[in-house]
A and B are shown apart, each in its own frame.
Chain A
Amino acid sequence: MRRPFTAMRLGVLIAAAGLVGCAQQPKPLYHWEAYQRQVYEHLKGGSSGPEEQIRVLLAQAEKARSLGSALPPGFRAHLGMLYVQTGRIDEGRQHFEAEKSAFPESTDYMNFLLAKMNGPSTSASAR
């Protein structure tokens, strides 16, 4: 179990060293991987459906967790939206809440989305 992980990490390091050359090793704030490519796929309605996109993003989230890296802003909310699109409303809601916890800056917008999910009566009473 240890060996493939170490080998993979070594591979990443070598790749990074090759790209960076003699410059300083960048330490990004977030674990991006294929997130923006997934966003693009979604925006252009690419060949992969929401189920496949969820699978890719969950794998990325797992990898970020194992590396101790933070997920980018919007990642959890985007995942939540994919869950909603596949009819898994509760999982969608949980991910909107997770976005809010990770990034309190998203609170207003996440609350707006959550209120809409609770139906028109809630948003009417909010007025």
Chain B
Amino acid sequence: MLRLAASTSLAAMLGACATPTPYDYTAFKQNRPVSMLVLPPVNDSPDVKASRAVLAQSTLPLAEAGYYVLPVTLVDETFRQNGLTEAAEIQQVSAAKLREIFGADAAVYIRVKKYGTTYMVIASETVVSVEGRIVDLRTGQLLWQGSAQASSAENDGGNQAGLVGLLVKALVTQIVGTATDAGFTYAAVANQRLLGAPMRNGVLYGPRSPHYLKD
């Protein structure tokens, strides 16, 4: 407790004008996963499309951060063939079993808190809100957790900085031009904020990124 307080105040001094609460990356840095298994997200929203949309948008941020991401459609199929169709059930499967079948270093557990468009008289708003945890499948340690949200009501004012942020923005614009599934579009932004790098208190870069070990 004392040590935690000491390190917190030291970090506060060092990072005076930087991030207010530095994230504790000890476990992340000890484990340094190479591959990520994204499990089907648990959905707390009323929209049945939420889990699949968030799952479909989960590979890009992690892959661009430098991780190998197991093919989400095949993973989903493998669970299905083993009689597991509910995300909540799948997220209960033991780390050892996941490691044995998929060979991934870490699993990503996502919960969709909000997903969808609220239609109002004057304007409508699309919100996607997600929470995520990354657990190492070799040691069972929690490596990272966080939450993020994206909303159509935000001003597009540069809070999406960073290379991949810009890439996602380009993709979002592209998707908006071709489809009307707004939730799917904002799931890309929410996932980028949740799982992309670099993000404040976010996921660290992985080995396939040129920024690996530099964050």
CB distance from B182 to the nearest CB of A (A): 13
Contact A19 B68 (CB under 8 A): no
Residues of B within 8 A of A20 (CB): 166, 170
Is B63 positioned at the interface, with any CB of A under 8 Å from its CB?
yes
Q: Mark B36-66, 1 if CB is under 8 A from A, else 0.
A: 0000000000000100110111011001101
Q: Given known contacts A73-B59, A105-B68, A109-B101, is B169 in contact with A19 (CB within 8 Å)?
A: yes
SS class of chain B's interface: helix, strand, loop or mixed?
A: helix
What separation, in Å, do the CA atoms of A16 and B163 have in the docked complex? 12
Instruction: Return the chain B residue nearest A103 by Cβ.
Output: B68
Is B132 positioned at the interface, with any CB of A under 8 Å from its CB?
no
Contact A73 B184 (CB under 8 A): no
Residues of A within 8 A of B171 (CB): 32, 36
Contact A72 B167 (CB under 8 A): no
Instruction: Return the chain A residue nearest B54 by Cβ.
Output: A40
Contact of A36 among B57, B161, B163, B208 (CB under 8 A): B57
Instruction: Return the chain B residue nearest A28 by Cβ.
Output: B167
Contact A39 B68 (CB under 8 A): no
Contact of A73 among B53, B69, B101 (CB under 8 A): B69
Contact B72 A39 (CB under 8 A): yes
Contact B63 A30 (CB under 8 A): yes
What separation, in Å, do the CA atoms of A75 and B60 have in the docked complex? 11
Interface residues of B in 151-209 (CB under 8 A from A): 161, 163-164, 166-167, 169-171, 173, 175, 179, 184, 188, 208-209
What separation, in Å, do the CA atoms of A74 and B72 have in the docked complex? 8
Is A43 positioned at the interface, with any CB of B under 8 Å from its CB?
yes
What separation, in Å, do the CA atoms of A112 and B188 have in the docked complex? 30
Residues of A within 8 A of B173 (CB): 19
Where the two chains meet, the residues of B that have a C-beta atom closer than 8 Å to any C-beta of A are 34-35, 49, 52-53, 55-57, 59-60, 63-64, 66-74, 76-78, 101-104, 161, 163-164, 166-167, 169-171, 173, 175, 179, 184, 188, 208-209
